[in-house]
Amino acid sequence: MAKRTILLVDGSSLAFRSFYSILDLERFKNANGLHTNALFSFNRMLDNVLAQFEPTHVLVAFDKGSKTFRTDKYADYKGGRDKAPGEFKEQMPYFPILLDAYGIRQYSLENYEADDIIGTLAHQAETEDEVIVLSGDKDLTQLADEHVTVYITRKGVSELEAYTPASIQETMGIQPRQIIEMKGLMGDSSDNYPGVTRIGEKTALKLIRSYDSVAELYERIDELKPSKMKENLVNEKDIALMSRDLAEIRQDAPVEISLEETKREEKDVEALVDFYREMNFNSFLENLTQEPGLSLPAVEESADLPEYTLQSVDIIETEMLPEKSSLLIEHLLENYHEGTPIGLAWTDPQAHVVYVADFEGALQQDDFRAWLADETKAKVTKDSKAAEVLVHRFGGELNGVSFDVDIASYLLDTHNSDQLADMLKDASLPAFVQYDDIVYGKGAKQAVPETEVLHEHLKTKAMALDLLEAPQIERLKAVEMEDLYRSIELPLSDVLAQMEMIGIKVDGAILQERNELLLERLAEMEEEIYELAGERFNINSPKQLGVILFEKLDLPVIKKTKTGYSTAAGVLEKLVNAHPIIAKIMDYRQVAKLQSTYLSSLPEYIQADGRIHTRFDQTLTQTGRLSSSDPNLQNIPTRLEEGRKIRQAFIPTEPDWQFFGADYSQIELRVLAHISQDEHMLQAFRDGEDIHETTARRVFNLPEAEVVTKDMRRQAKAVNFGIVYGISDYGLSQNLNIPRKDAKEFIETYFAKFPGVAKYMEEIVALAKEQGYVSTLFQRRRYLPDIKASNFNVRSFAERTAMNSPIQGTAADIIKLAMIRLQEALDEQDLRSRILLQVHDELILEGPAEEMEILSELVPKVMESAADLDVPLLVEYDQGNTWYDI
């Protein structure tokens, strides 16, 4: 018989470990909302293990129910355990499917645990077999012998530690089988059986080393000197014998499967593909295609899908350009402001044709350009903003966008992916489109496939757009977001496209000059810091800095991170009087940030037109805000003067133009006043009061005549921020640098003084628990799957999010609406002024100096009237020659 390598896996233990090894429940969810973290982690571990050991035989054993012969003997066996979370349990039924697809046998046995199945089979192995036992539970190490090696997972399930008789002898000084004896004496807290009072691992080991076993210990109990320990041993003999019995893994369970039957079968690639598609495990899918000899089965096209024909065209005839169409501009660009798309496809949904063409070639044709620009020709798109920018960059204009599946998908659930296959599944359609990562690869391996493959992919994607529009509209209607979609998000996409295309002019020379200056300064600061530290080290490395501060200089440790000492700004602030090096480091950090993130990087984003074209992501944030990237122009420094100067490099397009900035004053607190209907807050805003001052006056119980000091206002301001964020005493105490108890009192006083706000906070959390989501004034939704989580931290986080999201999200809705109306007004009045940037609660425009007066009227008017709240919206504005000046 050929040598067998037999892998025996403790499925129950490893499934559970896998769950806790990736606790990102949000990210690991498939399109149906099923959590997939345990399955994913288990699968990854399985791949590693199969590759490492190349077993010829594999069996995965599972527990069967919670009733076993052990619970018969001791009712509390494994009692007192927390119930497995629902997020884990829902994944259990899928382990068998995964393992079946892998061609791996599974087994479970009434009244026995997985351990016993493994013990029994390991025992049946022949001497020439190599047996590998894999578990997350150290109890199984008792099975180790000459031909059985036990591997226990570490660090989640990512590492394996081998246990052999030799290694156990070395670390514990006993034989593997004696682990049972040791457990008999010490018990096991996780399996919840007792052991002898006051005997822990150390004592148990000592006794077993001397007496070999529990049985022998009691035979020779007289050899023990009288002691409390001896008394306990004598008194609790029954317990010791029972615990020993519970600890022993059976090697004679009535297992009805033979080792030979665990021979591995071929992977069932089709089943695995189905499984991975269902779970959205794209990386596994991709790996599968790269295994030699395997070809990915085509995604099945369901019978009830319309048949489309693919037509590749060079010369585009007018009859190929329908009244209504789905338009796909395919690109692999990280940043669509540079580079060239790899393809173009559009549909004729009536004729069931997908036309595929070369993007650049098509844009050189007048008929096609006219069709793109014709706003009466409706186009369903995916990421219309990118499409618009790309068409524009290649000499065309895109009008008539009637639908954007990315935006719809995002509104339906902010967690949704941008992959068409996922959207099809969400719409209960067959997911006949391949994932882009699979067709194109990802990272360094990304490449354009051969034409036939590319065209087929473009065809299915374009078809998907045709099919998705109707169901997505239906779903938007069903959740009352069609209005948000049509009145805000879709028109906003066009406004953002214009803003991105216009870009903002930047004087690179100013930045470069300043960059060199700061580089010199940094070098000097480094030397000073080395001097004070007494050695050279990398100041940018929190790890090295931690060693210097908290070991070498022995400064008090204020806070720890997962990996070591925290050296964050808040910590350094507390240490500033403890050592002169601290101030230098704070200074260094500030300058280094400016230098690396802004001064050295921004010039690289200046394109040939002398302008920076950021991208605004409209389908990313969980609250409805925009985000900006490559570069992020929403976090250009302003709070500190030194950083704020960077804004001097942002200049208007023409010498006689100016910037115009307008921002909402306290928009989030105004929204809160409106949503909560707190009478005091409403009154304060209606009376035009300074909200932080009013808050201070109420919280500190100041009579009319008394003045609110700066410090009172500062503290009240922090509380107001905290309220908007979903306050916690700890957070406030950190922010104000006050004891947690004081912060707690602060919050209680606040809620007593603003009972409407307190009521809102309670009600919104209750509502979130009831319906599973919260919404903004404009019906934008954020689902909060964790709102009922059993884990305190996870649940608390969701609760704060429930309080904050309607506020932040409503503010986002309002400014979005303002942007659309403003763009309309600018167009209508034929102004040359234009919107350049949005920074959450402010808009930055540029225009001819002579239009500034008009803007001073128009912009605040449009912004203030964007929403009709029960408090006025107030907009502050300014104009200037650079961004610094507004």
Residues 533-592 close enough to bind DNA by CB under 7 A: 538, 540-544, 561-563, 566-572, 586, 589-590
Q: In what order do the strands lie in the sheet with 611-612?
A: 611-612, 504-506, 650-651
> For DNA, which is the closer residue by CB, 326 or 566?
566
CB neighbour burial string for 33-68, b if at least 16 within 10 angstroms, e if fewer: ebbbbbbbbbbbbbeebbeebebbbbbbbbbbeeeb
Establish if 806 lies at the interface with DNA (CB under 7 A).
no
Query: Could you say which of 138, 800, 834, 861 contacts DNA (CB under 7 A)?
Result: 800
> For DNA, which is the closer residue by CB, 566 or 833?
566
The number of angstroms, rounded, from the C-alpha of 270 to the middle of its chain's C-alpha atoms is: 30
Establish if 617 lies at the interface with DNA (CB under 7 A).
yes
Establish if 718 lies at the interface with DNA (CB under 7 A).
yes
Comparing CA positions, the residue from 4, 52, 9 lying closest to residue 152 is 9
3-state class of 724 per DSSP? helix
Residue 749 CB, shortest distance to DNA, in Å, is: 14
Residue 586 CB, shortest distance to DNA, in Å, is: 7
> For DNA, which is the closer residue by CB, 109 or 699?
699
Residue 8 CB, shortest distance to DNA, in Å, is: 30
3-state class of 59 per DSSP? strand
Establish if 218 lies at the interface with DNA (CB under 7 A).
no
Query: Could you say which of 31, 421, 732, 875 contacts DNA (CB under 7 A)?
Result: 732
> For DNA, which is the closer residue by CB, 606 or 727?
727
Establish if 312 lies at the interface with DNA (CB under 7 A).
no
Query: Could you say which of 243, 280, 347, 801 contacts DNA (CB under 7 A)?
Result: 801
> For DNA, which is the closer residue by CB, 749 or 796?
796
Residue 637 CB, shortest distance to DNA, in Å, is: 4
> For DNA, which is the closer residue by CB, 69 or 537?
537
Query: Could you say which of 165, 610, 637, 848 contacts DNA (CB under 7 A)?
Result: 637
Establish if 851 lies at the interface with DNA (CB under 7 A).
no
Establish if 630 lies at the interface with DNA (CB under 7 A).
yes
Comparing CA positions, the residue from 399, 400, 466, 396 lying closest to residue 427 is 466
Establish if 728 lies at the interface with DNA (CB under 7 A).
yes
CA-CA distance, 67 to 108, in Å (whole number)?
Answer: 13
> Which of these ranges, 11-19, 266-274, 631-639, 859-867, lies near DNA under the rule CB under 7 A?
631-639
Tokens matching residue 738: 């006050």
> Which of these ranges, 80-88, 653-661, 797-805, 869-877, lies near DNA under the rule CB under 7 A?
797-805
Query: Could you say which of 498, 623, 694, 695 contacts DNA (CB under 7 A)?
Result: 623
> For DNA, which is the closer residue by CB, 119 or 643?
643
Cα–Cα–Cα angle for 553, 556, 559, rounded to 5 degrees: 125
Residue 428 CB, shortest distance to DNA, in Å, is: 27
Tokens matching residue 301: 């096209």
Establish if 666 lies at the interface with DNA (CB under 7 A).
no
3-state class of 373 per DSSP? helix
> Which of these ranges, 139-147, 312-320, 792-800, 861-869, lies near DNA under the rule CB under 7 A?
792-800
Are 131 and 149 in contact, with CB atoms under 8 Å apart? yes
CA-CA distance, 347 to 462, in Å (whole number)?
Answer: 6
CA-CA distance, 591 to 209, in Å (whole number)?
Answer: 62
> For DNA, which is the closer residue by CB, 177 or 644?
644
Are 44 and 92 in contact, with CB atoms under 8 Å apart? no
Sign of the Cα torsion 217, 218, 219, 221 reads positive
User: In residues, how long is the chain?
Assistant: 886
Phi and psi angles of residue 842, each rounded to the nearest 5 degrees, phi first: -140, 155
Residue 124 CB, shortest distance to DNA, in Å, is: 39
141 to each of 152, 180, 463, how far by Cα in Å? 8, 10, 56
Establish if 792 lies at the interface with DNA (CB under 7 A).
yes
Amino acid identity, position 461: K
Residue 705 CB, shortest distance to DNA, in Å, is: 29
> Which of these ranges, 297-305, 340-348, 791-799, 823-831, lies near DNA under the rule CB under 7 A?
791-799
Sign of the Cα torsion 211, 215, 220, 224 reads positive
CA-CA distance, 792 to 780, in Å (whole number)?
Answer: 27
Establish if 621 lies at the interface with DNA (CB under 7 A).
yes
Which DSSP state fits 193?
Answer: B
Establish if 470 lies at the interface with DNA (CB under 7 A).
no
> For DNA, which is the closer residue by CB, 459 or 514?
514
CA-CA distance, 47 to 288, in Å (whole number)?
Answer: 11
Amino acid identity, position 321: L
Residue 721 CB, shortest distance to DNA, in Å, is: 4
Sign of the Cα torsion 416, 417, 419, 425 reads negative
Taking residue 556's Cβ as centre, other Cβ atoms within 10 Å add up to 10
Residue 824 CB, shortest distance to DNA, in Å, is: 23
Residue 628 CB, shortest distance to DNA, in Å, is: 6
Establish if 158 lies at the interface with DNA (CB under 7 A).
no
Establish if 343 lies at the interface with DNA (CB under 7 A).
no
Peptide bond preceding 631: is omega within 30 degrees of 0, i.e. cis? Answer: yes
Query: Could you say which of 142, 178, 808, 879 contacts DNA (CB under 7 A)?
Result: 808
Establish if 839 lies at the interface with DNA (CB under 7 A).
yes
Taking residue 142's Cβ as centre, other Cβ atoms within 10 Å add up to 24
> For DNA, which is the closer residue by CB, 500 or 851?
500
> For DNA, which is the closer residue by CB, 8 or 886?
886
Establish if 700 lies at the interface with DNA (CB under 7 A).
no
Query: Could you say which of 640, 679, 762, 872 contacts DNA (CB under 7 A)?
Result: 640
> Which of these ranges, 69-77, 384-392, 524-532, 717-725, lies near DNA under the rule CB under 7 A?
717-725
Site for DNA in 175-194 (CB under 7 A): none
Site for DNA in 90-149 (CB under 7 A): none
Concatenate the DSSP letters of all residues of 645-714 into one string: GGGGGEE-SSTTEEEEEEEESSHHHHHHHHHH--HHHHHHHHTT--HHHHHHHHHTT--TTSPPPHHHHH
Query: Could you say which of 106, 629, 648, 665 contacts DNA (CB under 7 A)?
Result: 629
Helical ranges in 394-435 per DSSP H: 405-412, 420-426
> For DNA, which is the closer residue by CB, 4 or 625?
625
Site for DNA in 246-285 (CB under 7 A): none
Query: Could you say which of 796, 856, 881, 882 contacts DNA (CB under 7 A)?
Result: 796
Establish if 155 lies at the interface with DNA (CB under 7 A).
no
Element (H, E) at 9: strand 5-10
Establish if 444 lies at the interface with DNA (CB under 7 A).
no
CA-CA distance, 862 to 878, in Å (whole number)?
Answer: 15
Establish if 625 lies at the interface with DNA (CB under 7 A).
yes
Establish if 722 lies at the interface with DNA (CB under 7 A).
yes
3-state SS string over 833-867? CEEEEECCCEEEEEEEHHHHHHHHHHHHHHHHCCC
Establish if 627 lies at the interface with DNA (CB under 7 A).
yes
> For DNA, which is the closer residue by CB, 129 or 841?
841
Residue 305 CB, shortest distance to DNA, in Å, is: 34
Helical ranges in 54-155 per DSSP H: 69-73, 86-89, 94-101, 114-124
Binding residues with DNA: total (CB under 7 A) = 74
Establish if 730 lies at the interface with DNA (CB under 7 A).
yes
Residue 670 CB, shortest distance to DNA, in Å, is: 13
Residue 750 CB, shortest distance to DNA, in Å, is: 10
Site for DNA in 641-660 (CB under 7 A): 643-644
Are 844 and 645 in contact, with CB atoms under 8 Å apart? no
